[in-house]
Amino acid sequence: MNIKIKLSVLCLGLFLFACNGNVKQNEGPDTSAKQAGDTSSVPKPQWQKSPKLTLAINTLLSHKNDAFKCDSAIILSYNGVFGEHAYFPLNRKGHLIASIKQRKKLTSSQVNTFNKIVGGSGSFKEPVIIHCFKPNIGVLYFKDGMVIAQSIISLDCAKMKSTAKLGSNDHYSSFSQVAVTKLKAFYNELNLL
């Protein structure tokens, strides 16, 4: 192999390694603590054994311009932070996180309102930059009885991560102050704050 190809492969590998964010897909506890041999001090999320939900996550979905439709959606108030890691409310096995405090089924009008906020490109222009991510709101989207997308929001840190693309065309992004204000008003209407 010539040097350009080797450098390209090396740069791609470093880029992928560096972009591996701290939001876990809920596989289990922090592996760095396991490697160090001390897992007693690492907080671990607990998972409910039932109900077990069926996952059909499609990362090509987008909140932008009502690009995907769902039959229903549930909004959750929960603790999604354990140690240095944030977790979606639903793990890969279909189990819900045990730290759920409240859950509400959204009406189709409420789903549309939420998607307009997180799907609008203006919600991500001039973002509030706060170096934290402590999700406390989760949204599960259902179609034909299966979860097709899930989103987590950290209002205190003005950030969101979703399996569906956001209005910023990313899966993880910071909000503008306008979007934070709209989301807080939305959650207040639902009595989640």
In a domain, 125, yes or no: yes
Assess whether pLDDT exceeds 80 at residue 38.
no
Report the C-alpha gap between 69 and 160 in whole angstroms.
Answer: 20
In a domain, 184, yes or no: yes
- Round the average pLDDT of the chain to a whole number and report it: 81
Which residues of 60-170 form beta strands (DSSP E)? Answer: 72-78, 81-82, 85-87, 100-106, 137-143, 146-154, 159-162
In a domain, 88, yes or no: yes
Pairing of strands 172-174, 81-82: unpaired
Report the C-alpha gap between 37 and 43 in whole angstroms.
Answer: 15
User: Domain total for the chain?
Assistant: 1
In a domain, 162, yes or no: yes
In a domain, 89, yes or no: yes
Range 160-164 average pLDDT: 92
Report the C-alpha gap between 36 and 7 in whole angstroms.
Answer: 31
Name the nearest CA neighbour of 161 among 143, 183, 134, 180.
Answer: 134
> pLDDT tens across 101-119, in order?
999 999 999 998 888 888 8
In a domain, 6, yes or no: no
Task: Write down the residue that tokens 């549309």 correspond to.
Answer: 112
> pLDDT tens across 49-97, in order?
888 999 999 888 888 876 678 899 999 999 998 888 889 999 999 999 9
Q: Provide the pLDDT for residue 8.
A: 55
In a domain, 37, yes or no: no
Where does the pLDDT of residue 39 fall: very low under 50, low under 70, confident under 90, or very high at 90 and above? Answer: low
In a domain, 168, yes or no: yes
Residue span of the structural domain in which 109 resides? 45-189
